[in-house]
Amino acid sequence: MRLIDPGLNKNSEFIKVGQKAMLDYAAKVKGIPQNALTEVMFGMATTAHILGGCKMGKNSVQGVINDRMQLHGYANFYVLDGSMIQANPGVNPSLTITAMSEYAMSMIDVKPGHTQKTLEELMFSHNSI
C-alpha cells in the first residue's frame, strides 16, 4: 500500500483522454477495455520502458555489445537505445540513454581529413544577437 500526502501534487493514475481512447477503440474492435490492477487498487499509474536485450560483455560469449556500445563481431555497428540498459533505473530512462549514446559517440575517432569542434567551439561559433 502507498500513502499519499493529499497536500502534494502527484501524477494522476487516471488520464481522461486516455480512458476515452481505450473505450472508443475497444468498442470499435469489439474488445474488452481494462485498466491495470495497480491503477484501480492502489492509485498508481503504470508505465513501461522497454529495456535490455543487448547485454554488455567483454566478448560475444559474455554479451552482445562492448563497453563502447559496439556490437561484437560487426565493425561500426552500435546499439544506442534502451536495449543497452539491463535494469530499470526507476525513472524515465531517456537521459540515461542519451548519456550512454553521447559517451559511445565520443569514442569514435574523427574521420581522417576532418576536424572535430569542441562543445565550447560549437556554442560560441554563432554570433549572438
Closest among 10, 14, 79 to 51, alpha carbons compared = 79
The domains of the chain are located at 1-46, 48-110
Mean pLDDT by 10 residues, the chain (129 residues): 51 76 95 86 75 94 96 95 88 92 92 86 72
**Grid coordinates belonging to 45:** 499509474
Closest among 79, 2, 7 to 45, alpha carbons compared = 2
pLDDT value of residue 83: 94
pLDDT value of residue 127: 61
d(CA 78, CA 66): 9
Measured distance between the N- and C-terminal CA atoms of the chain, rounded to whole angstroms? 55
**Grid coordinates belonging to 24:** 472508443
pLDDT value of residue 2: 46
Report, as residue numbers or ranges, the catalytic residues.
49
pLDDT value of residue 119: 79
